[in-house]
Amino acid sequence: FKKIPARSHNQDELSQMTATFNRMVDRLEESFQSQQQFVSDASHELNTTLMIIEGYANMLRRWGTRDEEIYKESLESIYEETQRMRTMTRQLLTLASSQQEEPEPYERIELIGCCGQIIAHLKPVHDRQITIFTDEKEIWFDANLVKIKQLLVILLDNALKYSSDPIEILLSTDEKDVHIRVKDYGIGIPEGEVKRVFERFYRVDSSRHRKTGGTGLGLPIAKAITDVHQGTIRIDSVEGEGTEVIVTLPRRQQEGLSPR
Ligand code: ADP
């Protein structure tokens, strides 16, 4: 793209059009660069995982038949890294679909029941205590059910991965919004890093998270989901004490509501 040179025109209208056009070019360039960065980060992440798989496959080929320890460790690691790659590719697809700007099919959702269902689904996998706190009997709002479930699963999955104590979900409403707070008492996030965790592929300590199976894509997906619902997401965290993720979503969607 080439910007129009900002010459001093007598006609106000023309210089205004030039300024608007130049702003559009800036925004397009920014978005193009961010797409390029994304493709490069995604390739890097997938490539790293493939290199690890290749390394273990080589170990297996060379020593696996003679050394049972190496045989077991290599097979286990290849399996784990393959799982990680599957998670990452699935999340990349989710992220792409979450950023589509087409109107979502919204419906009326009852939030307390929805959280209860997700806790029940997670129970056999984790068997940890997740408790809902709320003063309301029912909380209804307009949203895309699939995406809201994805959002809740991401936040709970993080709380499960990065803490070992019980987890709390606090639900409340005001006139305009519903508020969802997912609170854990785990490792927390260092102060300087909180603002970075919504960046794609960002992990506080990548070596630590290879063990927990993290990809750095969960929170960016959560952010894309709240954005598309015209809501907000923020994190309060104290390292060593715990983390609270606070999501606010409008009760009524203004635009793009396609009732079923
Ligand atoms: P990941 O798949 O690595 O969990 P996310 O995008 O969901 O990716 O989170 C990015 C990073 O933010 C994580 O790697 C972790 O370092 C940090 N993080 C997210 N949630 C929590 C939490 N509840 N407690 C502590 N750290 C967290």
State pLDDT tens for residues 38-78: 888 889 889 888 999 999 999 999 998 899 999 999 999 99
Query: Ligand 1: does its nearest atom lie under 6 Å from the Cβ of 162?
Result: yes
User: Average of pLDDT values for 116-132?
Assistant: 92
pTM value is 0.82
Ligand 1 probe mutation, 156, 191, 197, most atoms within 8 A of CB: 197
Is any ligand 1 atom within 6 A of the Cβ of residue 98? Answer: no
User: In the predicted model, is pLDDT for residue 249 greater than 90?
Assistant: yes
* Overall size of the chain counted in residues: 260
Secondary structure letter of residue 192 according to DSSP: G
Distance between CA atoms of 12 and 16, rounded to whole angstroms? 6
* Burial of 75 (C-beta count, 10 Å sphere; 0-12/13-18/19+): middle
Helix (H) / strand (E) containing 43: helix 12-63
Kindly indicate whether the ipTM for this predicted assembly is greater than 0.95, answering yes or no. yes
Residue nearest to atom 8 of ligand 1 (CA): 216
Nearest to 181 by CA among 159, 161, 212: 159
The alpha-carbon radius of gyration of the chain (Å, integer) is 23
Distance, CA of 38 to CA of 42 (rounded, Å): 6
Question: What's the gap in Å between 13 CA and the centre of ligand 1?
Answer: 49
pLDDT tens for 125-160 read 888 999 999 999 999 999 999 999 999 999 999 999
Task: Report the pLDDT value the prediction gives residue 260, as an integer from 0 to 100.
Answer: 36
**259 pLDDT more than 70:** no
What is the mean pLDDT of the segment spanning 203-208? 70
What whole-number distance in Å separates Cα of residue 158 and Cα of residue 91?
14
CB atoms within 10 A of CB 231: 21
Neighbours of 47 (CB within 10 A): 10
